[in-house]
Amino acid sequence: MARAAHRRHGDEIAAPARPSSRQVDALAAKAKGCTRCPLYRNATQTVFGEGPTGATLMLVGEQPGDQEDRAGRPFVGPAGKLLDRALVAAGIDRLDVYVTNVVKHFKHERRGKRRLHKRPNREEIDICRWWLDLELQTVRPRLVIALGVTAASALAGRAIVLSRVRRKTMDFTGLKGMAIQHPSALLRIPDSEARHRAFDTFVADLQYAAASVS
């Protein structure tokens, strides 16, 4: 895959607006008004996936965060910036990848002015699965990469322990799948050396996954 030519702001790489196909745009337009579960009530908007149909890779995260909720785009906040850096380091162009989440609304609780992420529950994940299945059927990626345990368990249909499935191929409802760390998990590592090592492992796992379908 071609190297990304993303814009750089100091250290950060701004995720570019990705051209989506008409089919994805049509799905996203339908999902805009989604009221299938109560999460829409406290969210700013639906954050649908983006990227080309026929993408070789689909990356699936957990749910949009605070910044994604405001921007209406997946993985544009701190975890997204880390993901962007990792994709560049792995030689993967984000423009070629379909990026989405298991749950399309930001679930959170308010603490003063802050909106703190809350993990979606089983029911919310199951209900939102409707949209993820449509994305999987529309994009038909050659490999689905689950980012973190929530996405991996939702896609595999069973509880996944990430360390046990590292670099193993799984069945994600008929599509080839792999699971890697969620970028937010890397951001939470307090020790900077350990965080850099985890980043290198994350990049190597991305490269391994991409090479398995190249």
Residues that bind ligand URA (CB under 6 A): 61-65, 68, 74-75, 77, 79-80, 101, 184
Q: Shortest distance, CB of residue 101 to ligand URA, whole angstroms? A: 5
3-state secondary structure of 117: strand
Q: Which residue, 42 or 193, is less far from ligand URA as judged by CB?
A: 42
Task: Name the residue number minimizing CB distance to ligand URA.
Answer: 61
Name the percent of the chain in helix, strand, coil, to the closest 5. Answer: 45, 15, 40
**Alpha-carbon distance 193 to 207, whole Å?**
21
**Alpha-carbon distance 133 to 183, whole Å?**
23
Q: Which residue, 74 or 141, is less far from ligand URA as judged by CB?
A: 74
Q: Which residue, 51 or 61, is less far from ligand URA as judged by CB?
A: 61
Q: Shortest distance, CB of residue 162 to ligand URA, whole angstroms? A: 14
Q: Shortest distance, CB of residue 117 to ligand URA, whole angstroms? A: 8
Q: Shortest distance, CB of residue 154 to ligand URA, whole angstroms? A: 11
**Alpha-carbon distance 32 to 81, whole Å?**
24
Q: Shortest distance, CB of residue 77 to ligand URA, whole angstroms? A: 6
Q: Which residue, 59 or 90, is less far from ligand URA as judged by CB?
A: 59
Residues 6+ apart with CB under 8 A from 82: 183, 186, 187, 199
**Alpha-carbon distance 211 to 92, whole Å?**
10
Q: Which residue, 107 or 141, is less far from ligand URA as judged by CB?
A: 107
**Alpha-carbon distance 52 to 45, whole Å?**
22
